Amino acid sequence: MASISELQERWNTLYKTTLPRLAKAKDEVQPHWPVVLDHCFGRIILDNAVGITQPWAKVIKSPAYKNMTIQQLEHAIILGESIAVGEANLDELNQRSLELREKNGPAAARKGQKRAHEDESTPTESKKSKTASLKSPENDEDSGRISSYFLLSPKSEKTKAEPKQTKAADSKQETTENCRPNRTNPITNETYLDAPPMDLIQNSSITSFRKQVLTLLCQVPRGQHTTYAALSDHISATSHKTCARAVGNAMRNNPFAPVVPCHRVLAHDGKIGGFGGHWGEEGKYAGKKKEMLREEGVRFDGSGKVVGSPFRGFK
């Protein structure tokens, strides 16, 4: 179990570095990024993971990382990592946070109506002053108004529109749909096209982070295994900061198993880890995972731990 100092470090890295970096790069894990600053990510995650029914500062004292309990830190980290891999929608979490602070939704509308009523009896010069203050970038989240970086940009709204397909694209889609899939996922029993693993990954609609993780999986040789930590260490050293939990989340419901071999990834202690959304020796698909590994030449000792060192030769 991680110590509170380790959790504090993970939390600070997550909201101060990892998420702002993804936001500035406009990573595809989120449809769009309504915020890019670290304190905004802190607000959104803490309101939803710690405050829950009220702003987080009404539950714990500032600075949050020093005053959160281990459980609160774990909840905040899990939510932040879910955002980082696209499993949690940042925009929805942001809207909820703003509603808790009465900066959006019905409460905000009532405040807006009240201000509009007051403005009717306000001199023109005063109205201009109020309008200018609303547009000022210096208005932060404590001012009672929504800062400009909380709002959707016109560009992000346009990206929601469905792109028009050309005749060539239509033809390509028809050809793909007419191909008979002839590979079966051993967990979901769903079928997919018999194609090279890299083509399956790159042509899919999964997030860029999941593509990165699944691509690395293809480097693990048959008859060998790796770990969630080994994958996260490589990604952190060569791309961006991440963790074993985020890697595990990215592999969950791998649509291209077993061609993309998520079954070759085990826990850091050599135990079976997760498979098909279940964890540990008692997991629903633990036996299937071990069977697949044994068929490839991987061996386990009497305590259920894998024999040999994990593969770390990622490129």
Catalytic residues: 262
87 contacts: CB under 8 Å, gap ≥ 6: 249
Beta bridge partners of 275: 278
Q: What is the DSSP string of 209-276?
A: HHHHHHHHHTTSPTT--EEHHHHHHHHHHHT----HHHHHHHHTT-TTTTTS-GGGEE-TTSS--EET
| Angle (CA) 215 218 222, round 5° | 170
Which pairing describes strands 226-227 and 265-266: parallel, antiparallel, or unpaired?
parallel
Dist CA 297 CA 126 (whole Å): 78
Contact, 209 vs 29, CB < 8 A?
yes
Handedness of CA 261, 177, 211, 190 (dihedral sign): negative
